Amino acid sequence: SIGLHERDTMKLIRTLNSLKEKGNSVIVVEHDKETILAADYIVDIGPGAGDFGGKIGFAGDARKLEKSKTLTADYLYGRKDIAYSHDNLQEEWIEIKNVTINNIEKLDAKIPLRNFVCITGVSGSGKSSLILQTLLPVARELLNRAKKVNKVDGVEITGLEKLDKVIYLDQSPIGRTPRSNPATYTGIMDEIRKLFAQTKEAELRGYKIGRFSFNVKGGRCEKCQGDGQIKIEMHFLPDVLVSCDACDGTRYNAQTREVLYKGKSIADVLAMSAGEALEFFKAIPAIAVKLKTLTDVGLDYITLGQNATTLSGGEAQRIKLSKELSRKDTGKTLYILDEPTTGLHFADVDRLTGVLHHLVELGNSVVVIEHNLDMVKNADYIIDMGPEGGNKGGLIIATGSPEKLAETYEESGSYTGEYLAKELNGE
């Protein structure tokens, strides 16, 4: 159901049931509420993620899930709810006029500043065309002084002058090699290296900060050159990566690993989860602040030295958000996110929604392209596009609070409003 509007998800469920009725077996890895509830048999794995998961919390007839004590069941059956206040006033606006691109023709749109705004609509209705292809390039050029942006001709946008910068958080990787990891991307690694270089043992040995980098000679393992892995070339088959036997995959040579801080080497620290590291470094503000933002976005389970290539798109996006959260906030930033709930459990959607609302409380503006009703129902303001996709889309069919869309869906023809009405009424 990734990338699908609730209307399209229901079509997908009917298709899956049709496959089952023809004698096939269907196995789905899923977070979507309606898809889970439509299943005959459910296997719920947890209780947490990463090292905190890997156990089966429930396995059996879907009708018996409600009586289980898993986190999934808590959210599915209302024992926990994703609910945040959304009563911000719409006083100042970004106004976009005369948009013509793809299936959009001469469209005008208004996006309220200092609000949590969701752009909704069925697949192909024009959401990305309006936000990512029209608003974002102009905002990057005006606010971030970006060069060579691809702008839509003939569009007039006002209101951006009230902002300082725009930040687009997508799901592209934070790095494409094993050398990139959450610690290096967020800047935590630099602070950790400084800390180890300041230990008495490092000073006695004459080790400087560079000694604790796995990217240069000195402290790194030279057999794997700091990768922690050795590539074995296989004739006629894909190459195989195996853990380096010289450093046991730690990236560092034995001498560097002999330098300890509170009984831990730098390799030990990189093997810690963000949650464990936050407790370990709680007395070091420069490190703790960055780690706190990782846990705030629900990434307390990832290890600091985890290869960037093993992170999911959703994890990469939240690491980027974490990095931005750790910076000094001006209160005049436009954040744009494209389907940030992709691949997230209800509990993660809950935490992420709270973080986005906090950004708005600081005076920022948040614009999210989203289908997930748990997030959409907590928006301050919704712009719903449609009514359908492709040539039958490209229009704004409803705007306002979640409650307004739910109340007026029969008049507006908004599928989002229809499903919001069911969600808000507990159906």
Contact in structure between 83 and 135 (CB atoms under 8 Å): no
CB-based burial label for 162 (10 Å; 0-12, 13-18, 19+): middle
Alpha-carbon gap, residue 6 to 2, rounded angstroms: 11
Provide the mean pLDDT of the chain: 93
Mean pLDDT confidence for 364-393: 95
Q: Write out pLDDT tens, residues 130-172.
A: 999 999 999 999 999 998 888 899 999 999 999 999 999 998 9
Q: What per-residue confidence (pLDDT) applies to 343? A: 84
- pTM above the 0.85 mark? yes
CATH 3.40.50.300 applies to domain 93-173+311-424 = yes
Q: Tens digit of pLDDT for each residue in 100-126?
A: 999 999 999 999 999 999 999 999 999
Q: Give me the residue spans of the domains in the chain.
A: 6-76, 93-173+311-424, 182-308
C-alpha distance from residue 82 to each of 132, 157, 194, 318, 350 (Å)? 27, 34, 40, 18, 5
Q: Which CATH architecture describes the domain 182-308?
A: Up-down Bundle (1.20)
Q: Average pLDDT of 260-285?
A: 96
Indicate the residue type of 353: T
Q: What is the 3-state secondary structure (H, E, C) of 233-272?
A: CCCCCCCEEEECCCCCCCCECHHHHCCCECCECHHHHHCC
Q: What is the pLDDT of residues 176-203, one digit of tens each?
A: 888 899 999 999 999 999 999 999 999 9
- Residue 241 pLDDT class (50, 70, 90 cuts): confident
- Cβ atoms 333, 166 nearer than 8 A: yes
Q: Is it true that the peptide bond before 238 is cis, omega within 30 degrees of 0?
A: no
Please list, residue by residue across 218-235, b when 16 or more beta carbons sit within 10 angstroms of its beta carbon and e when fewer do: bbbbeebbbbbebeeeee
Helix H or strand E segment including 144: none
